[in-house]
């Protein structure tokens, strides 16, 4: 039998005191069912909590691993970048020494003789 006073599970849960709400559950089949459902969900959340925490820990490990990777990568890539710059400077210096133009090096150039990269 449906209780006439019932305004639905959510509003009963919100507006009744815990005592009145539990009392209402005894008389209202619909809310009882809903409450059991909520209880199950709540239990599931309780059960899932350790897993969620574990997941958070894992993501923290992942973040730390990422940070280490980035640190390692920048530490390695900086010398490579410096080396690259040195090579570039040497190439530029050798071009200057031989008074070679970009065109003479056989590289594609635009109408002004500048290096043309498609
Ligand atoms: Zn109810």
- Cα–Cα distance measured from residue 35 to residue 46, given in angstroms and rounded to the nearest whole number: 16
The predicted model scores a pTM of: 0.42
The predicted-structure confidence for 82-95, as pLDDT tens digits, reads as follows 777 777 777 677 66
Domain residue spans in the chain? 9-97
The predicted-structure confidence for 3-51, as pLDDT tens digits, reads as follows 457 889 989 989 999 999 999 999 999 999 999 999 998 888 888 888 8
Ligand 1: distance of its center to the CA of 110 in Å? 82
CB-based contacts of 114: which residues, under 8 Å, 6+ apart? 102
Ligand 1: distance of its center to the CA of 5 in Å? 8
Ligand 1: distance of its center to the CA of 7 in Å? 6
């Amino acid at each position: 039998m449906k209780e006439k006073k019932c305004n639905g599970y959510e509003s009963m849960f919100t507006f009744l005191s815990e005592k009145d709400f539990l009392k209402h559950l005894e008389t209202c089949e619909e809310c009882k069912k809903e409450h059991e459902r909520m209880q199950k969900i709540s239990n599931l959340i309780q059960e899932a909590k350790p897993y969620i925490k574990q997941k958070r820990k894992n993501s923290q490990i992942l973040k730390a691993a990422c940070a280490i990777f980035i640190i390692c990568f920048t530490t390695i890539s900086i010398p490579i970048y410096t080396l690259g710059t040195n090579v570039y400077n040497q190439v530029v210096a050798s071009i200057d020494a031989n008074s070679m133009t970009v065109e003479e090096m056989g590289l594609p150039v635009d109408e002004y003789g500048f290096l043309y990269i498609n």
